[in-house]
A = this chain, B = another copy of it.
Amino acid sequence: MNYFFKVKSLEEVMALTGKFFPVGTEKTPVFNAFSRVLAHDLVAKKDMPGFKRATMDGYAVAADSTFGASESSPAWLDIAGTILMGDIPKFSIAQGQAAKISTGGMLPKGADSVVMVEHAELIDELSVEIYKSVAPLQNVIDKSEDFSEKDIVLSRGTFIRPQEQGLAAGLGFTHIETFKTPKVGIISTGDEIIPIEEEPVPGKIRDINSYALSGFINEAHAIPISYGIIKDDPNAIKKAVEKALEETDMVLISGGSSVGTRDFTIEVLSSLPDTEILVHGMSISPGKPTILAKVGKKPVWGLPGQVVSAMVVLKIVVIPFLNRLKGLEHLDRTIRVPAKLTRNVPSAQGRRDFVRVELIKKENLLLAKPVLGKSGLIRTMIHADGLLEIGEHVEGLEKDTMVNIILL
């Protein structure tokens, strides 16, 4: 087969995320929902907290009973009772009355605010002096102040952080509908690649990529599954891809960065039914010889075999597609921090460069120091804290330029 492919820009590739859709949904217990993605809008079934709640230890009062109170002229209130935690108060408060209350307690009828214990002094069992006035709703959370019934509190596609877990629990959801966690198949190819438990003779090299790639999949809260090392044989690769496609939601074929084996990957992918080759080469460095195909509904990637290239492509290009499968609304979850370049960095026009940098703290500033060393060296990734992205239309960056660094 003959493909006439134009190398695609990063933006063109990112636009292709729209060709894929989230893997199904499932019920997830809220206790285990961290890092999952919400599959429907979450609606408050009731007001939250649902009653007037004290946020301080002190005295529940009607605010106007305290107006004008001060150290020199305290307000004198009668104690109408004590509110027990978790109880509905059995009495109400009138003008000139107060009730002892603890943080989290429910205000009695007639009370609209709480005087902090530090601003009051109990005179005897029946009376208290107030040294500071309070305003209505001071030190109180109102019935629907957190959320009102029927409010949409979280929307579909939200990444669930700890606070979202807490909120869902507070609203009474023991389980929430989330997107399923995608499984990602990893196939390592190349006649020179051997299992890591073997001792390499010269010419052979251990399978680094299966392990590094699995880490990025874990980091993105998905499930990596290794399909081992396959020799440079189109039939064997095809079989492995078919198996991985049956069992997972996305497939990574690593290796095949040399011209010959890259052709194998295209040949294998083209021979699968219902395949569309979407990307055959990207204008980024490292990572140019990247292939993306849509096989049925699933993305299949041909990644460069060179370990640093494979990692950069995974982090920058593949993970947003994985986030799409995860159902996330925002596909770019990279964190960028500003830093000052320690030296000039050359860059070729017409391609997006990703330069490994070390981040060094210096007073209130981060310095970005490019990691020296050939791009095939894994050590350059070990020393790197982040990636400096240099645009297509930039010829290079000068020392002391402020840049944004993508954290690794």
Contacts and interface: CB of A to CB of B under 8 A. Distances in A.
A376 B141 contact: yes
Contacts of A203: 51, 86-89, 105-106
A249 interface: no
B219 A170 contact: no
Contacts of A174: 196-197
A214 interface: yes
A347 interface: no
Contact of A335 (B48, B147, B407): B407
A212 B170 CA distance: 10
Q: Which of A87, A170, A314 has the most CB of B within 10 A?
A: A170
A252 to B, nearest CB: 13
A204 interface: yes
A258 B104 contact: yes
A10 interface: no
Contacts of A33: 215
Contacts of A172: 196-197, 199, 206
A168 B212 CA distance: 9
A201 B106 CA distance: 11
A200 to B, nearest CB: 6
Q: Which of A51, A86, A193 has the most CB of B within 10 A?
A: A86
A55 B314 CA distance: 20
A192 B85 contact: yes
Interface in A149-166: 153-154, 160-166
B166 A208 contact: yes
A382 interface: yes
Given A259-B102, A260-B102, A378 B202 contact: no
Contacts of A190: 85-86, 104
Contacts of A196: 30, 169-170, 172-174
Contact of A208 (B169, B377, B384): B169
Interface stretch (A128-136, A271-279, A290-298, A305-313): A305-313
Contacts of A162: 212-216, 218-219, 311, 314
A34 interface: yes
Q: Which of A103, A164, A212 has the most CB of B within 10 A?
A: A103
Given A146-B378, A162-B215, A212-B166, A191 B84 contact: yes
A286 to B, nearest CB: 10
A34 B84 CA distance: 48
A192 to B, nearest CB: 3
Contacts of A17: none
A34 B259 contact: no
Contacts of A86: 190-193, 203-204
A215 B377 contact: no
Contacts of A215: 33-34, 160-166
A145 B314 CA distance: 24
Contacts of A200: 50
Given A35-B218, A103-B305, A215-B161, A207 B169 contact: yes
A257 interface: yes
A258 B102 contact: yes
A31 interface: yes
A55 to B, nearest CB: 4
B202 A117 contact: no
Nearest to A408: B161
A169 B224 CA distance: 16
Nearest to A154: B382
17 contacts: A53-B376, A85-B192, A85-B261, A86-B191, A103-B257, A103-B305, A145-B373, A161-B219, A162-B214, A162-B311, A163-B215, A163-B382, A166-B212, A166-B381, A167-B382, A170-B206, A174-B197
